[in-house]
Structure 1
Amino acid sequence: MTELSEHRFSGPVTVFQDMRLPETATPAGYSALIDAYKLAVPLPRMLSATGEHHRIIEKDGWRIMTPRHAPHPTLEGHLTFALKYEGLDLAVLKRLFLETGPAAIEALVRKSPTGSYARRIWFLYEWLKGTRLDLPDATAGRYVPVVDPGLQWAAQEKTAPRHRVKDNLPGTPDFCPLVFRTEVLDQFIGLDLPRRAQDIIADVSRDLLARTAAFLLLKDSRSSYAIEGERPPQDRIQRWGRAIGEAGRQPLDRDELLRLQRIVLGDARFVKLGFQQEGGFIGEHDRDNRMPLPDHISARPEDLASLIDGMVAFDHGPAQGIDAVIAAAILAFGFVYIHPFEDGNGRIHRYLIHHVLAARGFNPPGVVFPVSAAILEQIDEYRRVLKSYSQRLLPLVEWEPTPQFNVRVLNDTGDYYRFFDATPHAEFLYACVQRTIEQDLPNETEFLRRYDQFRQQVDAFIDMPERLIDLLFHFLKQNGGRLSNRAREKEFAALTDEEAERIEAIHRQVFGNARER
């Protein structure tokens, strides 16, 4: 396909793909390219257009810019506008390049061989398509980054002499989600949460820290199952907790993912272990004919190898050069969208958060932030974040039901899982990590300090095994700081009235209105 003529691009509109614009405006950048080339892609979270007024507004998923921002109504004009103002949307670019073919991009580069945007477009075409255009190597032009670091988070730069650009893409052509720079993320990073965590534990004794870490670890494991609506036996919760405690020690690869699935499932008699061979989905079935009603459809089995390899390459390479929480969000949410297993995906997805944070030394040694517990407390927001991409992806997946009441994907969907905007996921995960550091970690440490005071004061006047002191505390907590008549008549019938009153007074003195776990 050659360059589109001017009339193929839309003029002013009020509706774009069933979405109303805040005011009459002309699609620009990615929205114009998606419309003109009929690209089947998830729409960017923010679309651009140019209006008739000399002010910029952002509303209802649209950024309406001024007439002076209007690009030339050509492929080059809208691509340049997109890279300049909208950053990279690799899914859109990949589908666009498939539609344009090489000739249109070669013509664009020959027209402006030293132009920074032309050379970035040229690099992206060859990077995404894995093919070489019929162009000689660039010999002039200042080196420019492929990802604008003022718009999106980028990895460490590598020079690409052929195009005279700096390759700072945070991934490979097999897996490269991107995250936009936002005020929210900049504020989170400015908090320096690793230092805050270190400050919190600085005065904590080694014994107390070990007990705090053990509880937080168990809390995360239990919460991760609860998110899935499961209540497994305690031994499986503890086994998964031990796996989380070792996160970051083993390099991520296919064998490691398979090992984690075996641990998380325990009894796998009714589940097919290993990567899916038939596809899968998240959702329900119609009660009458067992027709799948998917909310999300997994990546095709034939795409899993390259997607998993891309995730592994991201973890081993670009993830080391960007912020740890942002890298964890990209890896973990990328995995859960790919959904490579029949079961266990959600818990392994949350494990991958711990994997990245631990490998990067984000959390203090031996301490696991109970991110799953923070997610469980904000479960509606978690689901909203997951749907922020799933809802845009699902309409593009063509599928048919199988005799096994599963789904079979009929079109090429691999790029939808390789490239997505992970900004909402990074912001959500940062909020969860902040919560665990500023609430869970100090609250649990303080609770254990107070519990030790309670136990020591009870020990000082009555000889009671630690097991019974634990039970005593449990009953006091359950009954608002008082021993119930049942407890006094059964487990603690040997206590005198004076001893019971003294124990209750110690509990009030030590805990008062303090939060008990």
Structure 2
Amino acid sequence: MNSAGYACLQDALQLSAFPLRQPARVQPVTRLERIGDILAVPPAIAPAPDDLLGHVLFALKHEGINLTILAQALPRIPAQALEAELRKAPNGIYIRKACFLYEAFNGEELTQHSPVKGGFIPLFDPEQYLTMPGERNSRWRIEFNGIGTLAYCATVERTPQIMVLLQHDILARAQQFIQNLPSGMMDRAINWAYLSEAQDSFAIEKESPSEDKSRRFIQLLRQAHERIPLSEDYLVTLQNATISNPYDMAAAFRHEQNHLASGLHGAAGVTYVPPAPDLCRELMEQLMALGNDAVKRIDPLIAAGIISFGFVFLHPFMDGNGRLSRFLIHQTLCRAGALENGLLLPVSVAMKREERLYLETLQEFSRPAREFWDVRWIDQGNMSFNFTGHPAIYRFWDATPGVRFTLEMAKRALEVELREETVFLQNYDKIVKAVDERYDVRGSDLANLVMMCLSQNGTVSKHRRKQYKYSVQEEVFDYIEQVTQTMLRDQKEEKEGAKIADL
């Protein structure tokens, strides 16, 4: 089966790139069409197998922009081939894009036999990709509208799932939800969000934070509202604040190779290898510049997803990268001015509940990236890491899965986590009030029993009855259960009635 476009370039030139989601294949069809997981190409419009420029132009026209492949393929095409094609179509959209990228990746100019005319053409099709306003190149009349630069760029496709999630206007709804709560309830809900976000961010890393660790992480989350720009010093300060072992505290971005591992022994257990230290530092400079700029130019949640996942894929520290990547979601939203009144969307709480989906999203990048590393076990605790790929796999990456996941978790954080906790607090207040009106119970005992009863779906356990039998009357336990169960039953019936009404 002959390939075309990016698939042909990848095969013919043995390029370092992740597997294409929908490779172009020459098929016995009469028109270009998407069939299952391939783009079926009629033989009549497929470029000749050895026509590399033809495949570049075909890909630019029919497959969008894949900078990872283009950055490697264009320098392998003779300048004369591009100049000859340009002579035939001096204002052609796709040859102009190819020439613009050729010069950017090669660092040398092509010969123009006549100036390019016409309006500016966006490099990324805004109907296919989420983009941001970019720099205009007058020589080729091309506007670079990617999210980033030609040194580091994330692509986000306008998938149906992402577009539906964006229509929810999650941040505005979260702000409205909090503002509509009574002031006392608002403070309690926000305090719960901070505590739970800290605990679950550690829990994702399989850590149980001490009270001191939780308090320090909560302080970080609150400080995000100060809107401090990203810098190496700032990120180092954040990393130090999330780590308790002084030997793991960084003084700068890493100067050695790190990796992630499973429980398997030796090289077989290495699941991800981020870029080498020098490339990591270069790309972190790009990511920080993007993080400081993008919040003003694209949807804050889109920016948050890109910065968070971009950070964890670069892994600039030897420890603490996961917690910091999730903190950066909150930090990005704060820098965009999207969270007022100290509001926090507890995305880590949502992620903890969707841990498998979180891991699968990370693996969409980490697994194919791992294929470009030759890892060898030397002896106990020592391995060699040899990168066999091209830096383009880290420079130009598909952020679509990470952005989709971030939007899903932000939506869940609002519609499930925050709302459920608010209902919990409202129920707690009503039960405490009902018991207080009938019985005289010590405040701390009543608070603990009501919370435990709510957490156990309306039951005060035998253990708790025994624990409090010398300070709380037996009938109080029964009354707490009765009030709680009645309230939960009424709410369940109300919810089911609302579902039926919606049908």
Matched residue SS, 2:157: coil
**1:409: which partner in 2?**
386
One-letter identity of the residue aligned with 1:422: A
Q: What are the within-5 Å matches in structure 2 for residues 189-200 of structure 1?
A: 189-200=166-177
The amino acid across from 1:119 in the alignment is: R
Contact 2:372/2:389 (8 A) holds in 1 = no
> After superposition, where does 1:415-430 map in structure 2 within 5 Å?
415-430=392-407
The yes-or-no answer on 1:282 pairing with 2:260 is: yes
Question: Structure 1 residues 50, 206: closer, same or farther in 2, change over 3 A?
Answer: farther
Please list the CA deviations of residues 157-177 of structure 1 after superposition, one character each: whole Å capped at 9, or x if unmatched.
432111111221211133201
Equivalent residues of 1:194, 1:364 under 8 A apart: no
- 1:492 Cα offset (Å): 4.0
Question: Distance between the aligned counterparts of 1:412 and 1:34, measured in 2?
Answer: 13
Distance in 2 between the 1:165 and 1:399 partners?
Answer: 41
Cα separation, partners in 2 of 1:427 and 1:512, compared to 1, 3 Å: same
| 1:377-427 superposed Cα distances (whole Å, 9 cap, x missing partner) | 122222111111222222223444566524433446432111111112222
Displacement of 1:31 in angstroms is 0.6
SS at 2:77 equivalent:
helix
- Is the partner of 1:148 in helix, strand or coil? coil
The corresponding residue for 1:214 is 191
Contact 1:46–1:63 at 8 Å: present in 2 too? yes
Query: Helix, strand or coil: the match of 1:142?
Result: coil
Q: Does 1:467 align with 2:444?
A: yes
- Give 1:26-425 correspondences, 5 Å limit: 26-54=2-30, 58=34, 61-67=37-43, 69-71=45-47, 74-100=51-77, 102-135=79-112, 138-247=115-224, 249-269=227-247, 274-284=252-262, 287=265, 290-291=266-267, 293-401=269-377, 404-411=381-388, 413-425=390-402
Q: Which AA in structure 1 matches 2:254?
A: Q
Tell me if the contact between 1:116 and 1:142 (Cα under 8 Å) persists in the aligned partners.
Answer: no
Gap change, CA 1:130 and 1:432, over 3 Å in 2: farther
Q: Amino acid of the residue matched to residue 65 of structure 2?
A: L
Query: CA RMSD of the aligned region, Å?
Result: 2.7
- 8 Å Cα contact 2:295-2:336 kept in structure 1: no
Maintained 8 Å contact 1:173/1:310: no
Structure 2 Cα separation of the partners of residues 366 and 505 of structure 1 = 37
Whole-angstrom CA distance in 2 between matches of 1:110 and 1:466 = 85
Alpha carbons of structure 1 residues 66 and 190: separation in structure 2 relative to 1, 3 Å: farther
1:28–1:49 contact (8 Å) kept in structure 2: yes
Please, which moves more after superposition, 137-146 or 44-53? 137-146
Q: Partner of 1:35: helix, strand, or coil?
A: helix
User: More displaced, 410-419 or 206-215?
Assistant: 410-419
Q: Distance in 2 between matches of 1:510 and 1:128?
A: 65
Residue 21 (structure 1) aligns with = none
Q: What are the ranges of 5 or more consecutive residues in structure 2 without an aligned counterpart?
A: 493-503
Which stretch of the first structure deviates more once superposed, 64-73 or 414-423?
64-73
- One-letter code of the match for 2:259? F
Q: Deviations over 1:433-490 (max 9, x none)?
A: 1111211122111211111112222233344443222222244346553444444444
**Cα distance in 2 for residues equivalent to 1:428 and 1:286:** 28
Deviation, structure 1 residue 251: 0.7
- 2:235 partner letter: L
Scaled by the length of structure 2, the TM-score of the pair is 0.89
Residues 496 and 412 of structure 1: CA distance in aligned 2, closer, same or farther (over 3 Å): closer
- Deviations for 1:74-107, whole angstroms, at most 9, x for unmatched residues? 2332112211221111111111123225444444
Kindly provide the amino acid, as one letter, of the partner of residue 449 in structure 2: L
Deviation at 1:136, TM superposition (A): 7.0
User: What does the per-residue CA deviation read over 1:333-365, in whole Å, with 9 as the maximum and x for residues that have no partner?
Assistant: 111111121111111111122222222234454
After the TM superposition, which of the residue ranges 242-251 and 470-479 deviates more from structure 2? 470-479
Distance 1:432 1:270, change over 3 A: closer
**What is the alpha-carbon distance in structure 2 between the residues aligned to residue 371 and residue 382 of structure 1?**
11
Structure 1 vs Structure 2: percent identity of aligned residues?
28
Q: Is the 8 A contact 2:16 2:393 kept in 1?
A: no
Per-residue Cα deviation, 1:134-153 (whole angstroms, up to 9, x for no partner): 54783423321111111211
Is the partner of 2:39 in helix, strand or coil?
strand
Structure 1 position 245, deviation (Å): 3.0
Q: Deviations over 1:191-232 (max 9, x none)?
A: 222233244334311221111111112212211111111112
What secondary structure sits across from 1:150 in the alignment? coil
**Secondary structure at the residue paired with 1:141?**
coil
Q: Give the 3-state SS of the residue equivalent to 2:269 in structure 1.
A: strand
Residue aligned with 2:245, SS: coil
